[in-house]
Amino acid sequence: MDRRPIIFLDSGLGGFPYGYFFHSRNAREPLICVGDRANFPYGVKSRETLVEILDSVTDRFVPEYNPKLLALVCNTASVTGLDFLRKKYADLPIVGTVPAIKPAVTASRNRRVGVIGSERTVEDPLIRELADRYGSDCEIMTIAAPELIEFVQLHYGSSSPTERLDTVKKYVDTFRSSGVDSIVLGCTHFLLLQDEFRAAAGEGIGIFDSMEGVCRRVEFILNQDGGKLRAGADSAAVVPLAEVTGEAPLEPYWEQLSLRFGFTLERHS
């Protein structure tokens, strides 16, 4: 039985839906979702700068919490810093977030798949590599949407349902006009707009994300070697923790989302 926590790390709000989904299936596992609000956004930073940020952030949280597993629930952090962190923490299992290209390509009838995410994510060669691996005949159309990531991070809580749908619709319409019939949400922040993406897409376009795939990978590692990393079946359910970096006052919706997803919210300066 291993009662050490699992850390989910994201640049901000994107960790909430991933953490909630994992916790709903693994309520006995201690979980800490780190929202690195102090360094938001990740996607517009240079590779070198982001690696330095990830180095600094993990230097603070890994020694403090001694986690049994670290998950980068952030596409940008994963494509940029996963290899670096795995070398740095050779004894710590680390899971990255990979855009859900495989199911999107498999489902596409038009053989045109759209990927929306940060600049760093959609420009990474991994997108094309995954497409070639699972469907070399499939055309990939990418949209870098830093302004949509900012919308979620800064305005999600104060926006109306209509504003959210209108904000998403223009991206979906761009994909639709190009014949795309499968859209990959390549930023974890976009999971908070999943309903809006599905509503804007209608029945003709599939929406895909990596949330279940990431959580299944974490569960696979926990279950290895007879489940030696598991908290144990006799452990009581625990309330997950959300740690937010930075000293600036939090927008009210951080508390609202914490309550919605069942997290205890704490600041980490």
d(C-alpha 267, C-alpha 144), whole Å: 30
Q: What is the DSSP letter of 22?
A: H
d(C-alpha 52, C-alpha 256), whole Å: 31
Residue 74 appears among annotated catalytic residues? yes
Residue 187 appears among annotated catalytic residues? yes
Structure tokens at 84: 């670096």
The string of pLDDT tens digits covering residues 250-261 is: 888 899 889 999
pLDDT tier, 157 (very low <50, low <70, confident <90, very high otherwise) = confident
d(C-alpha 100, C-alpha 115), whole Å: 9
Arithmetic mean of pLDDT over the chain: 95
Beta bridge partners of 8: 33, 71
pLDDT of residue 135: 87
Tell which residue, 148, 164, 150, has the closest CA to residue 198. 164
Residue 269 clears pLDDT 70, i.e. is over it: no
Global pTM? 0.94
- Catalytic member of 33, 74, 138, 215: 74
pLDDT tier, 235 (very low <50, low <70, confident <90, very high otherwise) = confident
Query: Which residues of the chain form CATH 3.40.50.1860?
Result: 6-97+211-268, 101-208
Q: Are 238 and 262 in contact (CB under 8 A)?
A: no
Percent over 90 (pLDDT), the chain: 89
Distant-in-sequence, close-in-space partners of 39: CB < 8 Å, separation ≥ 6: 11, 53, 57, 245
pLDDT of residue 248: 87
Residues 101-208, CATH architecture: 3-Layer(aba) Sandwich (3.40)
The string of pLDDT tens digits covering residues 137-156 is: 999 999 999 999 999 999 99
d(C-alpha 152, C-alpha 155), whole Å: 6
Task: Tell me the average pLDDT across 101-123.
Answer: 95
Q: Does domain 6-97+211-268 have CATH number 1.10.3210.50?
A: no
Question: Beta 264-268 vs 31-35: how paired, if at all?
Answer: unpaired
- Catalytic member of 33, 138, 187, 215: 187
The CA-based diameter of the chain, rounded to the nearest angstrom, is: 53
d(C-alpha 131, C-alpha 207), whole Å: 16
